[in-house]
Amino acid sequence: MIVEEYDAKTLIRSSKTSLFSWSEAYLNPYQGCYHDCKYCDGKAEGYYMHDDFGERIKVKRNAPQLLEQYLKKQGFFPINREKTSTLVDYFPNLRDSAASKTPEKHLLFIGGGVCDVYQPAEKEVIMTRKLLQIAHDYKMPVSFLTKNNLILRDLDLLKKINEDSYASASFSITLADEETQKIFEPRASTTQERFDAIKKLREKGIHSGVYFYPTLPFIGDTDENMEAIYFQAKEVGAEFIYCWGLTLKPGRNKKEFMNTIKKSFPDLLPKYTKLYGNEDKYGNLDTEVFKEFNLIWPEIRGYKLGYELGLDYTAKRYVPEGRIDFNIKITEILYRIAYLKSFFIKSSKYEINRLNQASVIINSTKEDISKMDEKGLKKIGIDKMTFDYIFEFVEKNESIHLKTLEKEAYESVCRYLESQEQN
């Protein structure tokens, strides 16, 4: 492993929320990932990462300064820091006044950008911890996704942040069998180590779940593998499992994966070659070939398993300080409904788009939409199709609609799986 430091121009990437990530700002101090997973799409040319992605790790040495600049610019103040090098050191009462004027906060995702922030380099570089310390100083809620149990080193900080606001540390887990897992994720923590880490995090009250992504066709989407992962997730107290298939972007990403299949699963090579033979630029598989092979979308099997085990299909949304509680919660409900209707309940694309669009609008609006009537909602661009969901939540502070749809989705996937078995 070669570690190189450099000064970056930028660190923070803003993003819209989605059902599978409630974060609105992403930061990653690393480029390249020593875990070197064979399906890693960080290796795809489109991300402009270097060729030796799995060996040469670049570190943004000025990441802490960039994060502080960003937070200060947003109007935040290091409330938890003992020495701030500001007037507050001389006039301590200013600290309370700064705390009372906190602007709208958002969830910081330390990671993303297709490099794991707890990869082995972090053990020596200790950069992620520095960023976490800053998040703690500024009382910012944080979220992580990793394949390395090194995150447990920072349990003390995660615990403090979670007591102040919210901390979530989830794991990407794809293969239950350790031998197979080591083929595809040679330098990440073992699957067992990751599950053990979830257990420890949950014992400390930290939010944690499993991203069962990517689910490898013919290898990871078997009943045996899927059940083993769902059952163990339940056992260790994971709060949710998000399940998704494999994409292989043409170029480095696909080439490296196919080489691994050729070496370790030669019998599967013709099937994979055909399944991903469409050269889709986003790496999506060929749906016609998918049908021809009688494959089942992992989301479908995953939803059934999760529903039966009482495991949520995504993380619950946290309401950051300064945000409008109702708006944040109703966006979660609308995103969930859109997801169920996209995958498990026959619905029109138009309806799904309207639901997603309403979520985006409500997420960014500065007015409390629970106080709006139909006219007000229409004025800000909310489609009437969503009114029932919104008004029900205003009235009952829960969504019976959503619960009903979740049950309906379960019944629909059961029917589908039965029909597949009979074929």
Q: How far is the CB of 150 from ligand SF4 (least distance, A)?
A: 12
40 touches ligand SF4 by CB under 6 A: yes
Options 58, 136, 147, 354; binder of ligand SF4; rule CB under 6 A? 147
Per-residue burial over 358-388, b = 16 or more CB atoms within 10 Å of its CB, e = otherwise? bbbbbbebeeebbebeeeebeeeebbeebee
Stretch that binds ligand SF4, among 32-40, 232-240, 315-323, 394-402 (CB under 6 A): 32-40
Q: How far is the CB of 125 from ligand SF4 (least distance, A)?
A: 15
122 touches ligand SF4 by CB under 6 A: no
210 touches ligand SF4 by CB under 6 A: no
Reduced to 3 states (helix: H, G, I; strand: E, B; else coil), residue 109 is: strand
d(CA 275, CA 5): 40
114 touches ligand SF4 by CB under 6 A: yes
Write a three-state SS string for 127-159.
CHHHHHHHHHHCCCCEEEEECCHHHHHHHHHHH
Q: What is the CA radius of gyration of the chain?
A: 22
Reduced to 3 states (helix: H, G, I; strand: E, B; else coil), residue 368 is: coil
Q: How far is the CB of 248 from ligand SF4 (least distance, A)?
A: 13
Residue whose CB is less far from ligand SF4, 50 or 101 = 50
Terminal CA-to-CA distance of the chain, rounded, Å?
50
Q: How far is the CB of 116 from ligand SF4 (least distance, A)?
A: 4
Stretch that binds ligand SF4, among 7-15, 111-119, 257-265, 336-344 (CB under 6 A): 111-119
d(CA 186, CA 216): 16
Reference 117, options 99, 139, 135, 91; nearest CA is 135
d(CA 49, CA 34): 13
Options 21, 27, 70, 116; binder of ligand SF4; rule CB under 6 A? 116
Residues in region 232-271 near ligand SF4 by CB under 6 A: none
Residue whose CB is less far from ligand SF4, 231 or 282 = 282
Residue whose CB is less far from ligand SF4, 71 or 121 = 121
188 touches ligand SF4 by CB under 6 A: yes
Residue whose CB is less far from ligand SF4, 164 or 196 = 196
Q: Are 168 and 206 in contact (CB under 8 A)?
A: yes
Stretch that binds ligand SF4, among 77-85, 113-121, 246-254, 290-298 (CB under 6 A): 113-121
120 touches ligand SF4 by CB under 6 A: no
Residue whose CB is less far from ligand SF4, 140 or 175 = 175
Q: In what order do the strands lie in the sheet with 56-60?
A: 2-6, 56-60, 30-31
35 touches ligand SF4 by CB under 6 A: yes
Q: How far is the CB of 38 from ligand SF4 (least distance, A)?
A: 9
User: What is the distance of C-alpha 183 from the center of its chain?
Assistant: 24
Residue whose CB is less far from ligand SF4, 35 or 317 = 35
C-beta contacts of 24-27 below 8 A and 24+ residues apart: 24/106, 24/107, 25/70, 25/106, 25/107, 25/108, 25/109, 26/109, 26/111, 26/112, 26/113, 27/63, 27/66, 27/67, 27/108, 27/109, 27/110, 27/112, 27/131
Residue whose CB is less far from ligand SF4, 40 or 134 = 40
How many residues lie near ligand SF4 (CB under 6 A)?
Answer: 11
299 touches ligand SF4 by CB under 6 A: no
Reference 260, options 19, 29, 11, 38; nearest CA is 38
Token representation of residue 416: 């589908």
Burial of 421 (0-12, 13-18, 19+ CB in 10 A): exposed
33 touches ligand SF4 by CB under 6 A: yes
106 touches ligand SF4 by CB under 6 A: no
Options 36, 154, 221, 299; binder of ligand SF4; rule CB under 6 A? 36
Residue whose CB is less far from ligand SF4, 49 or 402 = 49
Residues that bind ligand SF4 (CB under 6 A): 33, 35-37, 40, 42, 114-116, 147, 188
